[in-house]
């Protein structure tokens, strides 16, 4: 009876054009709905939401959408949100929490200063229905998709089809490097070959990623994090910028941070911060430190291991003093990193992921005046050219590390000044051009956008139909 009363109230309010109360009744009814796919409840809710005055979609708010907020993909979404907020634009972060990664917000971003809207994905075969319900509950006119993965492809399509939203796709890694292939697979190509879609599981992997990269490129506007990705995909360059009010060098801060971490005045800290993975060169760094035969060097690794065997291999390397720290809060992290003397990033030369990756922690280190030794890749060679990182290879890492640790104080200060100047001009939040330049013209007045085709699809949704609709767009060359 309660169920029926809610639905009757919702329908009565809708007929009376009481859009706000009708929408609320539909929202209250959704968890109780006996067959959400065979009813018109979702359509009615969307119809009402589009007509609620407080939710008219002609405002300037941007939703930064992360395909996964339970682990490190969330970091780029926070960077994008900070960039918008710095330019005075209202911004929310939205996205998924997959059970396979814990199903809760990634601890380093637990204290976000942004509004956050998420949904937990425990059964991936129900992802489409969950995504529809989420999009209907959270309307936006502008959505910036952080990474071209399948969850974001679906959410982007839904925002465009249901709400008429404008979409920008952000590419900050070569996602194909995680997909066991170097080539995309577009939906139209799969259809021509008679290849069926996989089951709705492992949405982060394999063919789903290859399909998503191809289909996300149909949207006309993309942003990229580094010149290597820009050369590959085009688009607007939007590096891993950092807040210059938090990322800066100060001698007193250096001393305070070291004291808080129980680092002795005579000790030198070689730091790695991030998700420790094999392609990031931690083993090579540890072996180089061992060869130095210096008792005053500490290898500090900040971040949780998702591969326990890697940690065991590190510990098997003798003559290295390790300090392991857990993941740090995103906003207090600079005070931890500030204790470091050197940051070593030996990105693997045979990894597609590393080839196109600008490590965010490289930017962090530059901002904090930490010497960066890096195996240069196409994604990072612009920093080597600017002389704010020291190019190294595995063969000369020991010599370069020894030379960096033995610098005079005058040379160290000179290097820090050069880094700080470059950071302010190119990698700080304040160095960004207006993000508005990325967006196409938005409608200036409220217009309901839900089409009859979308209404019919909401009553019996399928991924194939959504992809068929999306594939009607022309592929574009991004500039």
Regarding whether 256 and 206 lie in a shared domain, the answer is: no
Which residue stretches of the chain have pLDDT < 70? 1-3, 31, 34-40, 53-59, 441-450, 479
Residue 473 DSSP code = S
Domain assignment of residue 107, yes or no: yes
Residue 8 CB partners (closer than 8 Å, separation 6+) = none
Residue 213 CB partners (closer than 8 Å, separation 6+) = 148, 175, 176, 179, 184
C-alpha distances in Å from residue 160, one per residue of 133, 163, 166, 218, 221: 15, 6, 7, 13, 14
Regarding whether 213 and 303 lie in a shared domain, the answer is: no
Question: Which of 183, 204, 238 represents a domain boundary (last residue)?
Answer: 238
Residue 438: name the closest of 268, 238, 302 by CA.
238
pLDDT, position 5: 84
Question: Which of 238, 265, 293 represents a domain boundary (last residue)?
Answer: 238
What is d(CA 357, CA 114) in angstroms, rounded to the nearest whole number? 26
Neighbour count for residue 209 (Cβ, 10 Å):
26
Residue 415: name the closest of 342, 325, 339 by CA.
342
Residue 162: name the closest of 470, 455, 473 by CA.
455
pLDDT, position 3: 67
pLDDT tens column, 168-202:
999 999 999 988 788 899 999 899 999 999 899 99
Domain assignment of residue 478, yes or no: no
Contacts 24+ apart (CB under 8 A), 157-160: 157/466, 157/467, 157/469, 157/470, 158/131, 158/132, 158/466, 159/63, 159/135
SS3 116: strand
Regarding whether 194 and 260 lie in a shared domain, the answer is: no
Helix extents (H) in 87-126 = none
Q: What is the CATH number of the domain that holds 388?
A: 3.40.50.2000
Q: What is the CATH number of the domain that holds 222?
A: 3.40.50
What is d(CA 479, CA 477) in angstroms, rounded to the nearest whole number? 6
C-alpha distances in Å from residue 202, one per residue of 104, 148, 150, 156, 255: 18, 15, 10, 19, 46
User: In this structure, are residues 431 and 87 in contact, taking their beta carbons and an 8 Å threshold?
Assistant: no
Regarding whether 206 and 333 lie in a shared domain, the answer is: no
Residue 88: name the closest of 436, 342, 411 by CA.
436
What is d(CA 99, CA 288) in angstroms, rounded to the nearest whole number? 38
Question: Which of 193, 213, 238 represents a domain boundary (last residue)?
Answer: 238
Regarding whether 313 and 397 lie in a shared domain, the answer is: yes
pLDDT, position 45: 78
Domain assignment of residue 24, yes or no: no
Helix extents (H) in 322-408 = 333-337, 352-355, 360-368, 381-385, 397-405
User: In this structure, are residues 42 and 458 in contact, taking their beta carbons and an 8 Å threshold?
Assistant: yes
Backbone angles phi, psi at 184, to 5 degrees: -80, 165
Q: What is the distance in angstroms between the CA of the first residue and the CA of the last residue of the chain?
A: 57
Domain assignment of residue 86, yes or no: yes
What is d(CA 239, CA 225) in angstroms, rounded to the nearest whole number? 4
Domain assignment of residue 389, yes or no: yes
Q: Are strands 371-374 and 268-273 parallel, antiparallel or unpaired?
A: unpaired
Domain assignment of residue 135, yes or no: yes
Domain assignment of residue 121, yes or no: yes
HSE toward the beta carbon, residue 106, CA cutoff 13 A: 26
Regarding whether 144 and 274 lie in a shared domain, the answer is: no
pLDDT, position 298: 96
- H or E, element range at 106: none
User: In this structure, are residues 313 and 278 in contact, taking their beta carbons and an 8 Å threshold?
Assistant: no
Residue 38 DSSP code = G
Regarding whether 234 and 95 lie in a shared domain, the answer is: yes
Regarding whether 321 and 191 lie in a shared domain, the answer is: no
Residue 196 DSSP code = P
What is d(CA 56, CA 89) in angstroms, rounded to the nearest whole number? 17
Residue 419 CB partners (closer than 8 Å, separation 6+) = 249, 366, 367, 369, 388
Report the domain count for the chain. 2
For residue 99, the enclosing domain spans 59-238
Regarding whether 175 and 94 lie in a shared domain, the answer is: yes
HSE toward the beta carbon, residue 145, CA cutoff 13 A: 30
What is d(CA 79, CA 369) in angstroms, rounded to the nearest whole number? 20
């Amino acid at each position: 009876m309660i169920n029926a009363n809610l639905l009757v109230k919702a329908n009565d309010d809708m007929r009376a054009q009481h859009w706000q109360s009708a929408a609320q009744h539909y929202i209250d009814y959704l968890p109780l709905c006996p067959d959400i796919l065979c009813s018109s409840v979702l359509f009615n809710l969307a119809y009402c939401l589009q007509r609620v005055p407080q939710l008219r979609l002609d405002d300037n708010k941007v939703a930064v959408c992360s395909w996964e907020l339970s682990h490190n993909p969330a970091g780029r979404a926070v960077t994008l949100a900070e960039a918008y907020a710095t330019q005075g634009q209202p911004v929310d972060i939205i996205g998924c929490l997959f059970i396979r990664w814990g199903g809760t917000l990634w601890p380093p971003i637990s204290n976000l200063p942004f509004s956050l809207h998420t949904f937990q994905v425990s059964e991936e075969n129900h992802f489409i229905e969950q995504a529809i319900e989420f999009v209907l509950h959270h309307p936006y006119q502008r959505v910036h998709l952080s990474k071209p993965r399948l969850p974001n492809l679906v959410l982007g399509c839904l925002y465009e089809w249901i709400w008429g939203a404008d979409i920008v796709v952000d590419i900050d890694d070569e996602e194909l490097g995680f997909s066991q292939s170097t080539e995309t697979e577009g939906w139209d190509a799969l259809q021509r070959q008679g290849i069926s879609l996989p089951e709705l599981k492992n949405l982060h992997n394999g063919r789903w990623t290859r399909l998503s990269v191809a289909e996300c490129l149909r949207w006309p506007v993309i942003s990229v994090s580094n010149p290597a990705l820009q050369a590959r995909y085009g688009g607007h360059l939007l590096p891993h910028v950092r807040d210059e009010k938090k990322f800066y060098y100060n001698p007193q801060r250096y001393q305070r941070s070291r004291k808080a971490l129980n680092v002795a005045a005579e000790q030198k800290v070689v730091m790695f911060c991030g998700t420790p993975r094999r392609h990031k060169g931690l083993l090579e760094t540890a072996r180089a430190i061992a060869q130095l035969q210096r008792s005053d060097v500490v290898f500090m690794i900040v971040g949780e291991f998702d591969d326990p065997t890697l940690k065991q291999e590190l510990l098997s390397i003798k003559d290295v003093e390790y300090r392991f720290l857990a993941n740090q809060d995103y906003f207090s992290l600079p005070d931890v990193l500030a204790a470091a003397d050197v940051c070593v990033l030996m990105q693997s030369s045979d990894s597609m992921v590393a080839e196109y990756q600008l490590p965010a922690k490289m930017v962090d280190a530059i901002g904090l005046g930490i010497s960066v030794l890096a195996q240069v890749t196409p994604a990072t060679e612009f920093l080597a050219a600017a002389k704010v990182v020291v190019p190294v290879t595995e063969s000369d890492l020991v010599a370069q590390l020894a030379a960096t640790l033995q610098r005079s104080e005058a040379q160290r200060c000179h290097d820090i000044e050069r880094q700080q100047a470059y950071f302010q001009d190119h990698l700080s939040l304040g160095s960004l051009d207006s993000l508005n330049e990325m967006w196409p013209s938005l409608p200036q007045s409220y217009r309901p956008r839900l089409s009859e085709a979308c209404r019919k699809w909401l009553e019996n949704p399928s991924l194939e139909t959504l992809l068929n609709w999306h594939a009607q767009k022309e592929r574009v060359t991004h500039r």
